[in-house]
Amino acid sequence: MPIHATALGQSAGESALEVTPRLTMAYAAGVEAEEACYLDDLRPDGVVAPPPFCVSLEWPVVNGPRYREITGITAQEAWGGIHVQQDSTFHRAVRPGDRLRTSGRVIKLKPTSAGTLVVLKLETGDERSGEPVVTSYSSTIFLRVPLEGAPGTLEEPPALRDTGTITVLMEGGVALPTSRRMAHVYTECAGIWNPIHTERRIAQDKQLPDVILHGTCTWALAGMELIRRCAEGDPLRLKRLAGRFHGMVIPGTTIGLEYGVEPGEPGKVQFTVTNAAGDLAVSHGLAEFS
């Protein structure tokens, strides 16, 4: 079925969640974060959620019934959706005990040669205080699904870098191995399930060569490594993590992270991730630190 242009500007639904140590520590395990700040709940300050945990809060909206209702996307078409960009701004850390509410709104619809691009603006806030916690822009192309009606844009996501590759002197190149089981572990620990990531039969039905690692997992692996290398391991210093998802990462292969600090702006870090074939898996990468 085509995507309905009338979805533009509509609410894509909302979800509420009581954050628990189990949820945040499981997510940390899913992205192989072993630091005490994520896993030792006996610390005086307790544990903190890895910043990319925000996608677990957003998934019930991104994959929710309201979103499918307003767009007209069927469950089968949803499994063929390709997450092509994630841009998250972190207003404060997420900790166990938080009661958070996430809402979404369709802000852009655009036909492309591959299908229809849908951009959601997702806002997570503290239910008790009303303070903002995370603001994300999530972009998905629904393959071979046309747009019924006129395209439109209510708000553009924040600008990324014009160039997909790094334009500054590289600070380092890091090899990050992934295990064959990583997509399965991430699926369960993050609470994000799409069968193209875990079931080879479904992946090949969608004309993929194999199961592929979630774009948000690759994005998170890069972000967590940048926290270690650019923020002395302090997750509270990460204020923004953004990138476009390009080449596929097959679980069980090694990915490469390259990064560099923008001249005159020590808090801005450019990064890219390449897959085992040397193709860009994440381009236009930008991490901003306090």
pLDDT tens-digit profile of 256-274? 999 999 888 889 999 999 9
Count of beta carbons in the 10 Å neighbourhood of residue 65:
10
Smallest CA-to-CA distance from 210 within 262, 240, 248, 255 is with: 248
Residues 254 and 146 in one domain: no
Q: Please, where are the H alpha helices in the chain?
A: 21-30, 36-39, 54-62, 65-71, 75-79, 182-190, 200-205, 215-230
Domain coverage including residue 260 = 159-290
pLDDT tens-digit profile of 134-183? 999 999 999 889 999 999 999 999 999 999 999 998 877 899 999 999 99
Domain boundary at 100, 129, 157, which? 157
CA dist 8 → 141, 150, 172 (Å): 15, 10, 42
Domain boundary at 134, 157, 180, which? 157
Residues 50 and 178 in one domain: no
Provide the phi-psi class of 9: left if phi over 0, else alpha when psi is between -120 and 50, else beta: left
Residues 151 and 163 in one domain: no
Residues 271 and 182 in one domain: yes
Q: Is 27 buried (19+), middle (13-18) or exposed (0-12) by CB count in 10 A?
A: buried
Residues 120 and 4 in one domain: yes
Give the pLDDT score at 80: 73
Give the pLDDT score at 89: 98
Task: Specify the pTM.
Answer: 0.95
pLDDT tens-digit profile of 90-130? 999 999 999 999 999 999 999 999 999 999 999 999 999 99
Q: Is 252 buried (19+), middle (13-18) or exposed (0-12) by CB count in 10 A?
A: middle
Number of H helices, E strands in the chain: 8, 13
Give the pLDDT score at 217: 97
Give the pLDDT score at 266: 86
Q: Number of folded domains in the chain?
A: 2
Residues 149 and 74 in one domain: yes
Residues 263 and 284 in one domain: yes
CATH of the domain at 58: 3.10.129.10
Residues 210 and 147 in one domain: no
